[in-house]
Amino acid sequence: MILIDGREAAAKLKKEIAREVAAMIDSDMKAPHLAAVLVGDDPASQTYVSSKEKASRAVGITSSIYRLSAKTTEKELLDLIDFLNKDEEVDGFIVQLPLPNHINVERIINAIDYRKDVDGFHPMNVGKMVLGEPSLISATPRGILYLLETYKIETKGKNVVVLGRSNIVGTPMSILLSRKAPNGDATVTLCHSRTQNLKEITLKADIIIAAIGQPEFLKGNMVKEGAVVIDVGIHRIDDEKAAKGYRLTGDVDFKAVSKKTSHITPVPGGVGPMTIAALLKNTLLAAKK
């Protein structure tokens, strides 16, 4: 069993990004600038946004964070988006999800200038992605493609099962893997909460992408011998024995599933760091446009 090291793969990608940023600065361009908007005080979101800031700085990307209270109105958030759309200093920005319930996520995403939408969530980027046109691609699926490439995992002609149909991960992942492309050409089955006989389907998969949002959902008896498993889930489980009072687990029962896989991603240290590296890559692309 090969453990896919997301931290190592992310470090490699970040090194390439740092080189490109340095070259931009050498040719008298300004450094790319990524802004992040964080609404409320969800502890996990705070961790992810701080990691994004740290990673940006480490590769020479300028970073700024707009921290807003959980009581921020939709109008106030839309005004900030309008400001960031117009701010010539900012090449790309994200609005960290989830947002408080009183804010309509679609309306927020639609308000972002798609050229600055480094999350790749705007309908224009999603549409271009579906059509195979150059676009900003959602960071988590993009990061997973990098992981598969790095570990030379062939997708062409393989049976891939994607668990979960979210706009951010499951849906774009299923489209990207089925595209006519070097890291696509797979036969993809997208499974979700209404899927019947799930186990029969997952047992046929050469590659399983678990993005269903339920801790340890994928069990050992659902995976065939020699499969590749990518765990997108990240859950904080209360644990008195852990230093932080919680431990992290994914959507995969790692202990049982890893006994069967040829390759598997851990949580933490798998997909998470790649999401951040892919976001930096998108920021670089947005800055170069």
CA dihedral 205→162→14→237, nearest 10 degrees, is -100
Contact status: 273 vs ligand L34 (CB under 6 A) = yes
Contact status: 272 vs ligand L34 (CB under 6 A) = yes
Out of 94, 190, 191, 212, the only residue in the binding site for ligand L34 (CB under 6 A) is 94
Q: Which two tokens stand for residue 85?
A: 């759309």
Whether 184 contacts 215, CB under 8 Å = no
Any idea how long the chain is?
289
Query: What gap in Å lies between CA 158 and CA 90, rounded to an integer?
Result: 40
Whether 115 contacts 289, CB under 8 Å = yes
Query: What gap in Å lies between CA 256 and CA 264, rounded to an integer?
Result: 12
Contact status: 100 vs ligand L34 (CB under 6 A) = no
Q: To the nearest whole angstrom, how small is the minimum distance from the Cβ of residue 77 to ligand L34?
A: 13
Out of 47, 69, 73, 221, the only residue in the binding site for ligand L34 (CB under 6 A) is 47
Contact status: 276 vs ligand L34 (CB under 6 A) = yes
96 is catalytic: yes
196 is catalytic: no
Q: To the nearest whole angstrom, how small is the minimum distance from the Cβ of residue 254 to ligand L34?
A: 13
- Judging by DSSP bridges, how do beta strands 33-39 and 62-68 pair with one another? parallel
52 is catalytic: yes
Contact status: 48 vs ligand L34 (CB under 6 A) = yes
Query: What gap in Å lies between CA 237 and CA 114, rounded to an integer?
Result: 36
Closer to ligand L34 by CB, 5 or 206: give it: 5
180-12-278 Cα angle (round to 5) = 50
Whether 87 contacts 66, CB under 8 Å = no
Out of 5, 91, 117, 119, the only residue in the binding site for ligand L34 (CB under 6 A) is 119
Q: Which two tokens stand for residue 106?
A: 């679609």
**Total residues in contact with ligand L34, by rule CB under 6 A:** 19
Which residue number places its CB atom closest to ligand L34?
Answer: 272
Query: What gap in Å lies between CA 220 and CA 255, rounded to an integer?
Result: 8
Contact status: 269 vs ligand L34 (CB under 6 A) = yes
Interaxial angle between packed helices 271-288 and 43-59, expressed in degrees from 0 to 180 and rounded to the nearest 10? 50
Contact status: 96 vs ligand L34 (CB under 6 A) = yes
Closer to ligand L34 by CB, 226 or 245: give it: 245
Contact status: 251 vs ligand L34 (CB under 6 A) = no
Out of 95, 99, 161, 264, the only residue in the binding site for ligand L34 (CB under 6 A) is 95
Active-site positions read: 52, 96, 119
Q: Catalog residues that contact ligand L34 under the rule CB under 6 A.
A: 47-48, 51, 94-97, 119, 139-140, 234, 248, 267-269, 272-273, 275-276
